[in-house]
Amino acid sequence: MSGRKKARESGGGMMSTISRKEVEYVAKLARLNLTEEEAVKYTEQLNSILEFAGKLNELDTADVPPTSHVLDVYNVMRDDEVRPSVEREDALRNAPDEEDGQFKVPAVME
């Protein structure tokens, strides 16, 4: 977003703030019709989030190794085994539309 203001935070670092105009612009892009009160509320909430995130800059992370997850990530593998499944008729029973034993859904592409 252009025109982003920089505000001095108490710790001496810089943090971005979001203007109401930027909130309204993003809402327009998302095709959201915000009321006056919602625009003010979301601007305040987003700036509170940015302020909180800015506090993380005060932490000394020099000795903290970079991570992508807090916990170790590993794949849990299990043996494939054939098990009974839901019968097709049962699965399709509540379907709004069905064709040739399959769920029929509206086309999403022309």
Report DSSP letters for 4-71, one per residue.
-EEEE-TTS-EEEE--HHHHHHHHHHTT----HHHHHHHHHHHHHHHHHHHHGGGS--TTSPP-S-SS
For residues 31 and 90, give the distance between their C-alpha atoms in angstroms, rounded to a whole number. 39
What is the identity of the amino acid at 107?
A: A
What pLDDT sits at residue 32? 96
What pLDDT sits at residue 14? 56
With a threshold of 0.75, does the pTM exceed it?
no
CA dist 46 to 12, 51, 56, 99, Å?
21, 9, 16, 47
User: What domains, with CATH codes, occur in the chain?
Assistant: 5-58 (1.10.20.60)
User: How confident is the chain (110 residues) per 10-residue block, as mean pLDDT?
Assistant: 43 72 97 96 96 89 86 85 92 92 88
> Is residue 13 helix, strand or coil?
coil
What pLDDT sits at residue 15? 66
Question: CB of 50 within 8 A of CB of 17?
Answer: yes
What is the identity of the amino acid at 76?
A: V
